């Protein structure tokens, strides 16, 4: 069976999107593994299903490149908003999208009928150990631990999915070696995303990310939010200010207050049909 897809990206974080208002494909996990392959498939960080929802304008299900189902992706949910608007499913500038981490509210900024920028209310940054989970007593904010074969200071924060933030030079880290060690460390029973972050100016950060289930990606929206929230908690950035987060795939803007807002681009790469 041939099914249409849309390849979209936000800050280089690229997924293969399927309109599932007529029904979801079977075997989504296996499908994500097959289609995400950049040599034998379409290529991407995973697959996103855009489905009907009883509590929001749509429901997002996202599957990482290894087939695991993710709880939330800030870059992907912006692209879902873009698709809903441009396809005519929901032609409003304020939308809601159901995820496994709850309903996320989006503000779209269309120009000439196209959406190129979206702001998402990502919810509260949660530093409680049970929210990730992480096997530490109390909040881990700049906490020294032995991990990945060395001593590191980590800040653990959930943005609907788990993150371990390290304020270490992203350019100096051997991410292919260290990333999997942190992701799968026994401290994190459900694995974790790892962000290496450097302050590059007032309310400006540079970051590389190792994503749980996908490896190093060009960007991670929840990771950018986690990095900004960690920077505020550690006194490195200002609460309530727009924080620039520079990633390999582009820039995102995060504002950390009672809730965390993420603003960034959303772009269609190409459309096509694939045999399922």
Q: How far apart are CA 30 and CA 63, in angstroms?
A: 9
Please give the biggest Cα pair distance in the chain. 54
SS3 at position 112: coil
Three-class SS of 40-80: CCCCCCEEEEEECCCCCCEEEEEEECCCCEECCCHHHHHHH
- Cα 240 from Cα 164, distance rounded (Å): 22
Q: How far apart are CA 130 and CA 152, in angstroms?
A: 21
CA–CA gap between residue 224 and residue 244 (Å, rounded)? 9
CA quadruple 105, 224, 231, 128: dihedral positive or negative?
positive
Residue for token pair 């992480």:
134
How far is it, in rounded angstroms, from Cα 93 to Cα 116?
12
Look up 234 and say whether it is catalytic. no
- Cα 54 to Cα 250: distance, rounded to the nearest angstrom: 34
Task: Give the active site residue among 20, 79, 164, 220.
Answer: 220
| CA count, 13 A, side-chain hemisphere, 52 | 4
Backbone angles phi, psi at 25, to 5 degrees: -70, 150
Instruction: Name the region of 20 (left: φ>0; alpha: ψ -120 to 50; beta: rest).
Output: alpha
Is there a catalytic annotation at residue 225? no
Of residues 73, 79, 164, 225, which has the active-site annotation?
73
**What residues are annotated to the active site?**
73, 220
């Amino acid at each position: 069976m041939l099914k249409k897809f849309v390849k979209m990206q936000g800050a280089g974080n690229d997924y293969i999107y399927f309109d599932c208002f007529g029904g979801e494909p079977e075997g989504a996990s296996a499908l994500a593994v097959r289609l995400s392959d950049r040599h034998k498939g379409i290529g991407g960080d995973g697959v996103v299903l855009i489905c009907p929802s009883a509590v929001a304008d749509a429901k997002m299900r996202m599957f990482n490149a290894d087939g695991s189902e993710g709880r939330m992706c800030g870059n992907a949910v912006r692209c879902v908003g873009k698709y809903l608007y441009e396809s005519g499913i929901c032609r409003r500038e304020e939308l809601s999208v159901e995820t496994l981490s709850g309903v996320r509210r989006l503000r779209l900024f269309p120009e000439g009928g196209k959406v190129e920028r979206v702001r998402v209310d990502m919810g509260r940054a949660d530093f409680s150990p049970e929210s990730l989970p992480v096997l530490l007593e109390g909040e881990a904010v700049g906490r020294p631990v032995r991990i990945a074969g060395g001593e590191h200071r980590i800040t653990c924060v959930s943005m609907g999915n788990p993150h371990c933030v390290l304020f270490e030079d992203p350019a100096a880290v051997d991410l292919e070696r260290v990333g999997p060690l942190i992701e799968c460390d026994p401290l994190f029973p459900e694995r974790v995303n790892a962000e290496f972050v450097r302050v590059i100016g007032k309310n400006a950060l540079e970051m590389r990310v190792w994503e749980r289930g996908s490896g190093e990606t060009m960007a991670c929206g929840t990771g950018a939010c986690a990095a900004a929230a960690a920077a505020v908690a550690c006194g490195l950035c200002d609460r309530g200010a727009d924080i620039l987060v520079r990633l390999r795939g582009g820039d995102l803007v995060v504002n950390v207050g009672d809730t965390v807002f993420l603003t960034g681009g959303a772009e269609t790469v190409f459309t096509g049909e694939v045999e399922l």
